[in-house]
Amino acid sequence: MLTQEGKEFKSRITPILDEFNRTMTGFQNNQDQAAGTIRIGCLPEVGQSFFYGLLLEYQDLNPEVKFQAHFGLQTETIPMLKTGDLDFTIVWHPLLSENVRSYHLLEERSVLVTRTQNKKAFSDFESAQWITYEKRDLLLFQFLKLYAPRKKAFALKNTSSVNSQQSMVQALLNQDAFAVLPLFTVEPYIRSKKLKIASDVVLKNDLYLLHLENQMLTKRASLFKKFILNRCRSQTLVSGFSVSQQVLL
């Protein structure tokens, strides 16, 4: 038989345990549902130009699923993933961390482009006119390191910065300048002969899907992960393989 102290303890702890059990049951039911919201982060340009289309495609197949998309650099989205504000994020490099899972999605190819009317040869890249993505264009400097591996530093004299790749394309169409852009972004302009590839050097970056290591990954998250991995592994648009074969060979 319970002592008086035991009876008092039981009367106080029972409501707490009941609430705990209701919370756990509700959480588990939520984990087992395909419906709900998936929060995903992605690099801005490839997210808006390519991956957002996959989200809409998945939503057409699964109307009960909603998406919250956050477009930002991985320095912004990875911390959001770790704090639980995102379910997934798509980044350029896998994260070597015990509590994060990384899955290879696509190979993104970037090329040096200029408008077709530009007759200037790409020889002295430091004095050439450049259109850059914001002030520090990571793709451009990766390209230059690949183009001139022996050079330790690059001092570009003539640069104009914009904050989107579509703005870079529009700037290229109106002046004899150069830019490094993902092949999927410039593919339509290359096909229509408004832009041309100015170097046979091709920059390759792999894209990865990240999520926290979690044994209780929701059913909707598991289904979406399977969908996006399958779609990307059969996708050739971002890799630009067909375009690079036609233009570079």
Does the residue 18 lie in any domain? no
| CATH number of the domain bearing residue 215 | 3.40.190.10
Which residue, 194, 224, 189, is CA-closest to 209?
A: 224
Q: Are residues 129 and 180 in the same domain?
A: yes
Write down the pLDDT at residue 242.
38
Q: Are residues 144 and 227 in the same domain?
A: no
Q: Are residues 184 and 233 in the same domain?
A: no
Beta-carbon-side half-sphere exposure of residue 28 (alpha carbons within 13 Å): 6
pLDDT of residue 237 exceeding 50: no
Q: Are residues 141 and 190 in the same domain?
A: yes
Structural domain span for residue 134: 109-204
Lowest mean pLDDT among 1-5, 62-66, 103-107, 124-128: 124-128
Does the residue 17 lie in any domain? no
Does the residue 2 lie in any domain? no
Q: What is the mean pLDDT of residues 138-153?
A: 87
pLDDT digits 0-9 by tens, 19-58 = 777 766 565 555 555 678 999 999 887 888 788 889 999 9
Give the chain's domain count: 2
β-sheet with 88-91: strand ranges across: 65-71, 36-42, 88-91, 195-212, 100-115, 179-182
| Residue 151 pLDDT class (50, 70, 90 cuts) | confident
pLDDT of residue 198 exceeding 50: yes
Distance CA 109, CA 146 (A): 13
Q: Are residues 175 and 210 in the same domain?
A: no
Does the residue 5 lie in any domain? no
Q: What is the mean pLDDT of residues 81-91?
A: 92
Go through the chain and tell me how many residues it has.
Answer: 249
Lowest mean pLDDT among 51-60, 145-154, 223-232: 145-154
Q: Are residues 100 and 158 in the same domain?
A: no
Does the residue 21 lie in any domain? no
Q: Are residues 88 and 125 in the same domain?
A: no
Does the residue 26 lie in any domain? no
Higher-confidence residue of 4 and 247: namely 4
Q: What is the mean pLDDT of residues 107-131?
A: 88
Does the residue 13 lie in any domain? no
Write down the pLDDT at residue 246.
37
- Whether the full predicted model's pTM is greater than 0.75, yes or no, is no
Write down the pLDDT at residue 42.
92
Q: Are residues 195 and 123 in the same domain?
A: yes
